[in-house]
Every structure is written in C-alpha cells, then in structure tokens.
Structure 1
Amino acid sequence: MSTLPTTPTDDAGSAPAVHVPTRLVVHALVREDGTVDAGELYTVAGLLGMTDQQVRLCIKRLVAEGRFVHEGRGRKALLRAVADVTGSITPNVAYVRHAYRQDHGLAAWDGVWHLFAFAIPESSRSSRDALRDSLRHLGAAPVQSGLYVSANRIEQLVEAQASRLDVAHAVTCLTSTDLRVGGLADPPALAAALWPLDDIAARHDRLAHLAQHCLDRLAQPDDPTGPEQLTMAVQLAAAFTDAMEPDPLLPPELLPQPWPGAHARRLTAACWTALARAGTHAVTGAPAPRLFVQYEELLASIPQHHT
C-alpha cells in the first residue's frame, strides 16, 4: 500500500508530496488493451521524481515475475500484461459505494454493534492470525483478546473467511445495542476509544489537500498535459487507497463532525470528474488506462456528489 508523508511540500505552488512505488505506476498505466506504453511510463515516472534506472529495474522484475512481457527497447517499448495487475490500485466498489452512501445520509446507523469472538488454539496460529487480519481489514476493532467489534454488518464476510480458514467452529457472532467497554457506553466515545480516528482523519486530510490541488490545476487556463493528467490520476488513486484502506467506515453518528473523510471523498469524486472531462486519451485516440475506466464506472454507481 502506498503511503504519504505526514506533511505536504512547503511550496504552496507544487503538488502535495505523494510517495508512489514504481511498481504501482506501471500497474496504474495499464491500458484497456492490456498494454503499457514505455514512453508514457518513463514520462509519468519522471514527473513523480523517479529515475529511468528505477523504471528499468522495476520492468525487469515484473517481467521476471511473469506479470508482463516486454516488446521493443527503451521508450519505444511496449509492456503487455499477462494478467490483470491493476487490483492493487483500484478500489473495492461495494466498499467505496457504501462510504459515499454514508456521506449522503443514505446508510443511517441502526445502533447495533456486531461482535466476533474466537478461541483458536496455538496449533492453528496461522489461521488465527489470518482471521485477525481479516477482521481488521473489514474495519473491526479489538475489544480484548479474541473479541472484535464492528459498527457494520460484516457477519457474512467474517463467517466466509472463517470457513476458508477452517476455524468456523471456533467463531461466535453476536449483536448488542448495549455495549460497554471499560465503563464507556456512549457510542461516539466508544468509537473514539476503539478506533484510531486521529490517524484516519489525517490520511483523509492529506487526500483532500491533494485532490484540491489537482482541481485547482485543472481549472487553470493552460490545460495540464496528458502526462500531467496521468500523474495526477496515479497520485490521486494512491492517496485514495492510502486513506480508504484503514478506514473502518464508521457511521457518521459515531464520528466527530464535520468528518474529514466525507470532505476528502467529495473532492476526490469532483477531481475524477474533472480529469474525465479533460479527456486527453479521448482526444488522442489512445486507449485509456484501466484506472480511469474503473474509477469512472465507480463514480457512475454512487450517489451524485455535491460541489
């Protein structure tokens, strides 16, 4: 997963600093026909501060791993994906759609806490660790050893994972509208105690800062070049992933208001709409990166964002 520095660049005229791994840039530039134009790749990587040597080494590794085949030489080369490799940078549609529904007040919390308890022996330690990782990935927080809680209905996903790990017999699911932890019973206070809300909010603040910078650049009279647009898209996708992956998508009723996540997602949607409107690939006739297509399809499936 890509990460962002804790502070943006000091230069108010430049884009907020976003660290994007070279491999992720290659994945982001895979076009609808499964190819990556090496010239485009080197140009975008250069705009992101990467050297040609970094790009060459990354291509070499990806080819050695069997993820791409390499045709031609240098900037005139073409990379051809052997399989779909864009999953590391594209969002989970159902997850993101739920986030936007919450932002628009279309997924009100019913006041129910969803709890998951398990007692898995040391002999099945790898399965136990995998179940814990899955619970955290699904937004559940540890209450105490072997007990996790979520504000969302994720039982079906947890039970499916427990079955895959062959530990379903050791997992108990229950719900409560009367949860108390360490003397805390107020739902927002519980949420603040159980989830790292400050860190999650900071990630969304960084995403919002980047999205606003991109919107400002796209609104300038001198339209950004095609490579600049692609660079914005790669940065935006990386920052969106960085903000969303650790977000448990707690209902707004449990969060401080205004919540930075809703603001960041609104700006991100507006930015993708502006990038699509700029339409460099539509003008040149070149195949669009799958990243563009997947985000456009996602935005078409969510409630209309407010400007």
Structure 2
Amino acid sequence: MTTRLLVHALIRVDGTVGADELYRVAELFGMSEQQVRLCVKRLVTEGRFTHEGRGRKAVLHAAADTLRELAPELDFLQLAYRQDTGLAPWDGRWHLAAFAVPESARPARDALRECLRHLGGAPLQGGLYVCANAWEPYLREAAAELGVPDALTLCTTTDLCRGGLTDPVELAAALWPQEEIAEGYRVLSRIAEPRLARLTGTTALSPDELLVIAIELAAELTRVMEPDPLLPLELLPRPWPGTRARELFARCWTALREGEAGGTPPILFRRYAGASFPPAGPPG
C-alpha cells in the first residue's frame, strides 16, 4: 500500500479528499503524518490535486486529469465481470488506433500514448496500437480534451497479421504479457482468501478492521487490473486466474457491503460502490 494509492482510495464522489479522514486512515496502515504530508505535497506539485485549508481541516481537490484517469476503472471492472460470466463474448474484431501528433504538441502526444496503454493497447509499430475491446469512446474523449482530435485515426478489423501471426490466440499471447498478468491475479487470490474467511467468520470485525480489509482489497485489485488489457476469455489460456481472483474479490466486497447495514460502512474506493458484482458463490 502506497500513500498515493491511499489518497486515490479516499476520493469522494465530488472529487475531494478530507485531510482528517486521510490522516486517520493512514495511521491504520502505519503511515506517519510526515509520509502523508510529503505525498500530498508531491501530488499538488505534480498538478494532480489542489490544496485548500491547513492541517487536518484541509481539503484536497482532484484535478480533472486525475479524475479522468480514475473514472474508466468502474467501466473496466464491469466489463471484466461480464467477460467472466460469459456476458461479453468476443466478436472477433480487433480495434486499431493510430495517431500522428507533431513535436510542437509533444505533451499531448505523450498523454495520448499513455491513454492508449492505460486502455489496454499494445503497440504494433510506431504510432499504431491494437486492443481487443471497443475503446473508441474513451480515445475520442481523450483526444478532444488534449486538443488533438484530428490526430487520431480509428478502425476495426477481423484480419490482423503481425510478424506472420494471424491466429487470434497466438496474437494475444505475443502482444500482451499474459503470464505476468496471470501471476498478479494469483497474488490477489492469495490475499483475498484469508480476508474472505475473516469477513464470513463468526468473529465480528471492528469498523477499522473492515476499513483496512476493504482498502487492501481494492488497492490490490487496482494494482493488478491496471496492466490488464481485459482480453476476452476466447483469447486467454484456461483456466484464467483473473476469473477466480475477481470472484473472490466480489465475495469479499459483498460481505463488506453487508457490514454497512450495521452502520459501519467501509469508506474507500467509492468509485467501486456502483459495481454490479455477480451473485456470490463458490469460486470456480
């Protein structure tokens, strides 16, 4: 758990983070006030947040770029669960994106390239990226916000050939680091299993214990999903560890949300609050 990730975890729906809440939760993770202050200072210096007020009464306001980067994550989580449950089968189309931004707009070029990677794109060659899912709305929005909408070219194809490879499964294995991503999900499963046992056990957990578990789980899910292009199951080896890991996460989150009825809602990663998790059941 990093201090930066903790700040992201506590962003409210209105884009703010209360310093009093941030310092209190940081203490639960053994983070010092100095760590928090230095992290906040870096985030403000980087333009990720603005700062209003002093001490524990201060309020952080997330910048538009910060919110934009975090916003699609709920959409991606929903897509992942739809894939896991067979509700989003692959239609056989590859989604291609190319861009040509002049050197005079280098910051926009770098930001657009980072957006492509964040959305799961793999480079085919200079300025040309491929994704297995429909990413066009996100790319159009990003290009428009960066002021380079005319620099982006989008298309789809069912006939992709790279280096002599044409089989979709072989292409997916060559373009994305599947084993590295799979190991990340195995780690998530190992983290989720004992926490699920605690959440569903007979011993009642305190509000602080629930909060720590919730942040740990959400932080780990975020860590492993950030590099995941969310390839359709048709392109992945079976069984895919991501399916089991996400089901364990869903069962934990269901148990946490049931704990809210007792008046102790875990306050974290509020953007996950709207996720439609599948019905809880034994992991497959």
Q: Same fold (TM over 0.5)?
A: yes
Asked if structure 1 preserves the Cα contact closer than 8 Å seen for 2:44 and 2:51, the reply is: yes
Match of 1:50 in 2: 31
Distance of aligned partners of 1:238 and 1:39 in 2 relative to their CA distance in 1, 3 Å threshold: closer
Look up the SS of the partner of 1:67 in the other structure: strand
Look up the SS of the partner of 1:297 in the other structure: coil
- Picking from 213, 222, 225, the partner of 1:232 is 213
- Picking from 259, 272, 278, the partner of 1:295 is 272
- Picking from 99, 103, 123, the partner of 2:80 is 99
- Picking from 145, 149, 174, the partner of 2:126 is 145
Match of 1:126 in 2: 107
1:175 aligns with 2:145: no
- Picking from 65, 76, 81, the partner of 2:59 is 81
Identity %: 49
Distance of aligned partners of 1:124 and 1:61 in 2 relative to their CA distance in 1, 3 Å threshold: closer
Look up the SS of the partner of 1:92 in the other structure: helix
Distance 2:203 2:280 in 1: 26
Asked if structure 1 preserves the Cα contact closer than 8 Å seen for 2:9 and 2:219, the reply is: no
Partner amino acid, structure 2, of 1:81? V
The Cα offsets for residues 171-203 of structure 1, whole Å up to 9 and x where unpaired, read as 322221111111111111100111111221122
The Cα offsets for residues 215-265 of structure 1, whole Å up to 9 and x where unpaired, read as 122233332322111111111111111111221111110011111111111
1:304 aligns with 2:279: yes
- Picking from 206, 218, 241, the partner of 2:222 is 241
Distance of aligned partners of 1:95 and 1:123 in 2 relative to their CA distance in 1, 3 Å threshold: same
Normalised to the residue count of structure 2, the TM-score between the two structures is 0.80
Match of 1:8 in 2: none
Asked if structure 2 preserves the Cα contact closer than 8 Å seen for 1:187 and 1:254, the reply is: yes
Aligned ranges for residues 213-292 of structure 1 at < 5 Å? 213-279=194-260, 282-283=261-262, 285=263, 288=265, 290-291=267-268
Distance of aligned partners of 1:27 and 1:146 in 2 relative to their CA distance in 1, 3 Å threshold: closer
Asked if structure 1 preserves the Cα contact closer than 8 Å seen for 2:19 and 2:60, the reply is: no
Distance 2:71 2:216 in 1: 12
- Picking from 96, 107, 114, the partner of 1:115 is 96
1:67 aligns with 2:51: yes
Distance 2:12 2:136 in 1: 37
Match of 2:167 in 1: 186
Structure 1 residue 139 displacement after superposition: 1.1
Asked if structure 2 preserves the Cα contact closer than 8 Å seen for 1:188 and 1:255, the reply is: yes
Asked if structure 2 preserves the Cα contact closer than 8 Å seen for 1:63 and 1:70, the reply is: no
Normalised to the residue count of structure 1, the TM-score between the two structures is 0.75
Structure 2: gaps spanning 5 or more residues: none
Distance of aligned partners of 1:146 and 1:89 in 2 relative to their CA distance in 1, 3 Å threshold: closer
Higher mean displacement: 160-169 or 175-184: 160-169
Asked if structure 2 preserves the Cα contact closer than 8 Å seen for 1:28 and 1:89, the reply is: no
Asked if structure 1 preserves the Cα contact closer than 8 Å seen for 2:9 and 2:270, the reply is: no
Look up the SS of the partner of 1:173 in the other structure: strand
Between Structure 1 and Structure 2, whose CA radius of gyration is higher?
1
Structure 1 residue 159 displacement after superposition: 2.8
Distance of aligned partners of 1:83 and 1:47 in 2 relative to their CA distance in 1, 3 Å threshold: closer
The Cα offsets for residues 269-289 of structure 1, whole Å up to 9 and x where unpaired, read as 10011122234xx54x56x45
Asked if structure 2 preserves the Cα contact closer than 8 Å seen for 1:89 and 1:241, the reply is: no
Look up the SS of the partner of 1:107 in the other structure: coil
Count of equivalent residues:
275
Distance 2:34 2:172 in 1: 46
The Cα offsets for residues 36-95 of structure 1, whole Å up to 9 and x where unpaired, read as 5959954x5344333455356667888997535457xxxxxx546354699587872222
What is the CA RMSD across the aligned residues, in angstroms? 3.3
Look up the SS of the partner of 1:223 in the other structure: coil
Distance of aligned partners of 1:84 and 1:165 in 2 relative to their CA distance in 1, 3 Å threshold: closer
Structure 1 residue 143 displacement after superposition: 0.6
Distance 1:38 1:250 in 2: 40
Partner amino acid, structure 2, of 1:67? H
Look up the SS of the partner of 1:291 in the other structure: coil
Partner amino acid, structure 2, of 1:117? A
- Picking from 172, 183, 205, the partner of 1:202 is 183
Question: Which fold has the larger relative contact order, with Cα–Cα distance below 8 Å and residues 6 or more apart in sequence?
Answer: 1
